[in-house]
Structure 1
Amino acid sequence: MDTQNNIEVLIVEDDLRVAEIQTKFIEQVGGFTTVGIAASYEEAKSYIDIMEPDLVLLDVYFPDMDGMDLLRELKQRKKKIDIIMITATKEFDRVQEAVTIGVFDFIIKPVIFERFKQALVRYRDYYFQLHNLGRQYSSVTQHQVDMLLRKEAGILVAEKTHLPKGIDPLTLEKVLDVLAKADSGLTAELVAVEIGVSRTTGRRYLEYLVSEEKVDADLSYGTVGRPERVYLVKEK
């Protein structure tokens, strides 16, 4: 990362015109800085060893190499670098191998800006979630892993249009995060205090999560007064 906390990107592409287009695309997506353009295998290795970029945009076809060989080498060397393949290849075996090795995304040329932007925005969200988790925790919960891998279907990646009126996706994510960190069930009042909303609002989000079978609800019987409804993340 550079001093402005941008994600550093290396473009590995032997067609300078295509590389310049990708550079302009990157400039239009906030949070990224292009640190170099490599047009050959040796240039790519040199840039990677010296610059240690966060993300590499990698083509497959080069006069002096196969981009898949560089991908395999980076994974074998256990470089902490993520890869987005951007290539004209449509061969199923190559796509399958790239996905199996662990590329973050695979874009087939010609590149459309909206598809390019989608890949970078997804990566940016993933990158900062990963680094925030690493700074805050030495171990993680299942919910935090699900957040990172985008497997909380219909909630973490939902847009407002996919949720009922009065349910905001960011607030919903905060509620889930508070519950995931708790050692035991929490009341609506405790959750509301943690995320800075009213008790009524907190209960509305919690009951929505119960209805979606993401959260379990139970009754807690104290020594005095009426039993309270408590909420906890449903076991996977």
Structure 2
Amino acid sequence: MLNILIVEDDPRIAEINRRFVEKVPGYLVIGIATNRQQAQEQLEVLRPELVLLDIFFPDMNGLDFLRWMHEHHRETDVIMITAAKEVDTVREAIRGGVFDFIVKPLVFERFENTLVRYQEYRSKLQHLKKEHSQIDQAKIDQLIGGGQKPLKESYLPKGIDNLTLEKVSAVITQHENGLTAEAVGREIGASRSTARRYLEYLVTRGEVSADLSYGVVGRPERVYRKRKEG
């Protein structure tokens, strides 16, 4: 069982994170801290294997706290879960040694994928420490993810396959004025519900936007458009 400490100043989001963690076998939330003092105290007492860390707090910056953890709790790993999307922020977090950087709002499938990968990492690490005093390049690659399937595919949630996802993305790209899920389904030869599932996934990835279109009759429909970069 891997113990997790959640460091998040918003109690509602902390509770959502806790419920998500508890849906993944092999994990236990042993504490929730909403400020720096609580976080430091709980780290000292609970010694978790993993911390879910936000960046924005009234009394601290999560990146500063990450540096403090690196100095005082090097044995504890960190996954950033934050609304921050700035390139420099992501770069600094990666340089600080985070296992992953996840942008809010938290998507369970993406989060679950990370926790499963972390379990695999810990398991491989423990095995290597028991069996070897030194390891070769192949084992290092295995430990840090080398030789696994491409990152893009590894993060796809259940019910989403890469081929269909590419088809949906291509159709949306070709129609600047946007399409409904029903129209996309016709284009790719799939049902409306299937098309909508893929479209909503692209929305969560920030690649597609969705707006309501009010027709003459009937209920409003969601119209999906490719997001323009910049």
Map of 2:61 onto structure 1: 66
1:101 aligned to which of 88, 96, 111: 96
Deviation at 1:15, TM superposition (A): 0.8
| 1:101 alignment partner AA | G
**1:75 matches 2:70:** yes
Alpha carbon RMSD of aligned pairs, Å?
A: 1.7
Could you tell me the TM-score, scaled by structure 2's length? 0.63
Map of 1:26 onto structure 2: 21
Partner Cα separation in structure 1 for residue 74 and residue 148 of structure 2: 30
Map of 2:138 onto structure 1: 143
Task: For residue 70 of structure 1, give the secondary structure of its aligned residue in structure 2.
Answer: helix
| 1:152 alignment partner AA | G
Pick closer, same or farther for the CA change 1:154–1:66 going to 2, 3 Å: closer
2:46 aligned to which of 46, 51, 54: 51
Partner Cα separation in structure 2 for residue 101 and residue 79 of structure 1: 11
The equivalences for 1:107-126 within 5 A come to 107-126=102-121
Instruction: Show CA shifts across 1:48-69 (max 9, x none).
Output: 1111110000000111111111
Task: For residue 85 of structure 1, give the secondary structure of its aligned residue in structure 2.
Answer: strand
Map of 1:36 onto structure 2: 31
Deviation at 1:77, TM superposition (A): 2.8
| 1:37 alignment partner AA | I
Deviation at 1:154, TM superposition (A): 4.4
Give aligned pairs, total.
Answer: 152
Task: For residue 75 of structure 2, give the secondary structure of its aligned residue in structure 1.
Answer: coil
Pick closer, same or farther for the CA change 1:49–1:101 going to 2, 3 Å: same
Deviation at 1:80, TM superposition (A): 0.8
Task: For residue 20 of structure 1, give the secondary structure of its aligned residue in structure 2.
Answer: helix
Map of 1:92 onto structure 2: 87
Could you tell me the TM-score, scaled by structure 1's length? 0.62
Deviation at 1:8, TM superposition (A): 0.6
Which of 1 and 2 has greater Rg? 1
Task: For residue 146 of structure 2, give the secondary structure of its aligned residue in structure 1.
Answer: coil
Partner Cα separation in structure 2 for residue 154 and residue 127 of structure 1: 19
Partner Cα separation in structure 1 for residue 107 and residue 9 of structure 2: 19
Partner Cα separation in structure 1 for residue 8 and residue 149 of structure 2: 36
Task: For residue 113 of structure 2, give the secondary structure of its aligned residue in structure 1.
Answer: helix
Moved over 6 A (4+): none
Deviation at 1:76, TM superposition (A): 2.4
Deviates more, 1:64-73 or 1:137-146: 137-146
Instruction: Show CA shifts across 1:65-106 (max 9, x none).
Output: 111111011112352111000001111111110011110000
Instruction: Show CA shifts across 1:186-236 (max 9, x none).
Output: xxxxxxxxxxxxxxxxxxxxxxxxxxxxxxxxxxxxxxxxxxxxxxxxxxx
Partner Cα separation in structure 2 for residue 100 and residue 125 of structure 1: 22
